[in-house]
Amino acid sequence: MNTKLLKQKILDLAIRGKLVPQDPNDEPASELLKRIRAEKEKLIAEGKIKRSKKTGDKPHYENEDTPFEVPESWEWVRLGQLYNAVSAKRVLQAEWQREGVPFYRAREIVKLAQFGSVNNDLFISEEHYQKLKEAYGIPQSSDIMLSAVGTIGKSYVVKNDDRFYYKDASVLCLQNIHSLNSSYIQLVLSSLLVQEQMYDKSKGTTVDTITIEKVGEYTFPLPPLAEQVRIVAAVGQWFEIVDDLESNKHDLQETILQTKAKILELAIHGNLVSHDPDDEPATELLKRIAPHAVPCDTSHYGNLPKGWCATTFEYLSTNIASKKYQIKQSEINESGKYPVISQSANFIEGYSDVDSKLLHMPSPIIVFGDHTRITKYIDFDFIVGADGVKILQPLISARYFYYLTQYVAKKIENRGYSRHYSYLSRYIVPLPPRVEQERIALRIEELFDVLDKISADL
């Protein structure tokens, strides 16, 4: 279940007038617009706001087909008809402080939109804030702050006790000069209808950007004020239900991860597949791949199946020196001829065209993140990205060795960004017969595939 899409569907129903019933006693939105026009003319006459040259009071769709039908009491409007979009007075980087009044950039507005709070690390002095307040004004309660550069279109409604200033250009302030329902407008701004307008109108710029002129052109349906209140309450109730589903989804995802860990536990201890007494004992395999290795005490793993033995992890693979195949992080591109494999959680870190750094792989290898403990099964040629990549050439079944490495990586102590391979290499592990290794790997993949399908359907 895609809860993000579900929330967008709820918003779509809301802005089409299909989420809550209409009340014939509600004052039509057209009457609200008449009052807004009158108030705006008064504010212009008083010199408190300027008349917009591009965004007047004429509805965008007055003589055109609207994107969809809305209830009779609703009106299609442009944002510039309702709110006065302004930017901040420029605050120089030299004026930033480590304490004082919070100073928000687009990234802080994005976090406020997502979490309702932010751990801010930029401030301006109290004295500077007071000067800006007196000379240019500051965001007021129920104004809407909008991220306008990079991650655009994230909105935050200013609260009564909020006290901050913001960065010019990267954040816009939508002044609620007509005392409208900003909670409803915030829902509209997050709808696909308006989000698509934001990104369409930002095309042609290197970085996605919203300008004061563009923001005033966004069009959307406006219900009566009383219905706006009902819509905001209904959306809130539905979103709570969706959030509960999301929480249950996370619980199920965690259960799936725990189930995978249990499957590996059963596999490594010899409890996942049946055993064939005709399989060559693991001790014979160990003699061939590591003649000097001595089988270890198996008491740590209880009663291992007949034909199994225990040995040290380092005897099961050889190390391939990675330095000559390595490129710097800054040399990794978003596209190119060859994939770059690093120790990060990203399976492929990026790409490179440097032929001389290509590592040719005639057989599968395992990449172990010396700092991260991330384990990857690689069966193609690649270039090594940055430091900390251990390349292990399995001397046993490559697929089984991959799952064994995953298992042991979780067992060794997490030492943060310190090195881990030395602890991995000394770990005592059970070793099944060679043929059984393939059966175990196949069974793990069958079970993991089922769990992955369940996870994808959530």
pLDDT recorded at residue 62: 56
- DSSP one-letter code for 183: H
Same structural domain, 180 and 285: no
Which residues have C-beta within 8 Å of that of residue 58, sequence separation ≥ 6?
A: none
What is the per-residue DSSP string for 249-318?
HHHHHHHHHHHHHHHHHHHHTT-SS---TTSPPHHHHHHHH-TT--PPP-GGG-SPPTT-EEEEGGGGEE
Structure tokens at 238: 């539905």
144 domain-assigned: yes
The span from the CA of 114 to the CA of 107, in Å, is 11
**167 and 311 together in one domain:** no
pLDDT at 455: 83
Residues 218 and 339 in one domain: no
Sheet holding 165-166, edge to edge: 123-124, 101-104, 165-166
Cβ contacts of 71 within 8 Å, gap of 6 or more: 17, 22, 223
* One domain, residues 199 and 318: no
Q: Which residues are bridge partners to 377 per DSSP? A: 366
Residue 350 covered by a domain: yes
Q: Are residues 195 and 282 in the same domain?
A: no
Give domain status of residue 182, yes or no: yes
Residue 262, domain member (yes or no) = no
Nearest CA to 402 among 434, 432, 348, 365? 365
For residues 357 and 405, the answer to whether their CB atoms sit within 8 Å is: no
Phi, psi for 128 (deg, rounded to 5) = -65, -45
CATH number of the domain that 295 lies in? 3.90.220.20
CA angle 108, 114, 234 (to 5 degrees): 140
Residues 206, 291 within the same domain: no
Flag whether 6 is in a domain.
no
Domain final position from 224, 246, 281: 224
Give the end-to-end CA distance of the chain in Å, rounded to a whole number.
4
The reported pLDDT for the residue numbered 57 is: 53
Residue 347's pLDDT is: 95
Q: What is the pLDDT of residue 205?
A: 66
Q: How far is CA 68 from CA 16, 220, 221, in A?
A: 8, 10, 9
Question: Looking at the structure, do residues 20 and 161 belong to the same domain, yes or no?
Answer: yes
* Pairing, β 383-385 against β 326-327: parallel
CA distances to 33, 69, 172, 194 from 77, in Å: 9, 14, 20, 12
Residue 449 belongs to a domain: no
Residue type at 383 in one-letter notation: I
Tell me if residue 124 falls in helix, strand or coil. Answer: strand
Please indicate, yes or no, whether residues 169 and 30 belong to a single structural domain of this protein: yes
pLDDT reported for residue 300: 75
Instruction: Tell whether 367 and 425 lie within a shared domain.
Output: yes
220 and 280 both lie in a single domain: no
Q: Does 3 reside within a domain? A: no
pLDDT of residue 1: 62
* Look-up of token digits 């978003």: 334
- Cα maximum dimension of the chain: 97
CB atoms within 10 A of CB 104: 25
The pLDDT, as a whole number, for residue 458 is 67
Query: Is 375 in a helix, a strand, or coil?
Result: strand
Q: Put the strands of the sheet holding 155-157 in their side by side order.
A: 84-86, 171-175, 144-147, 155-157
Do residues 67 and 195 both lie within one domain?
A: yes
Q: Which helix (H) or strand (E) holds 378?
A: strand 375-378
Q: How many folded domains does the chain comprise?
A: 2
Q: Please identify which residue in the block is written with the tokens 């997502």.
A: 114
State the pLDDT at residue 201: 84
Residue 17 lies in a domain: yes
**Grouped pLDDT means (10 residues each) for the chain, 458 residues:** 86 95 95 94 86 59 75 96 96 94 95 92 95 96 96 96 95 96 97 94 79 95 97 95 85 90 95 94 96 83 90 96 92 93 94 95 95 96 92 97 97 88 95 97 94 82
The single residue listed with the structure tokens 């989000």 is 195
Which run of H or of E encompasses 392?
strand 389-394
State how far the Cα of 14 lies from the Cα of 22, in Å rounded to an integer.
12
User: Rounded distance, CA 178 to CA 225, Å?
Assistant: 12
Same domain, 201 and 283: no
Q: Which residue range is the domain that position 327 belongs to?
A: 269-434
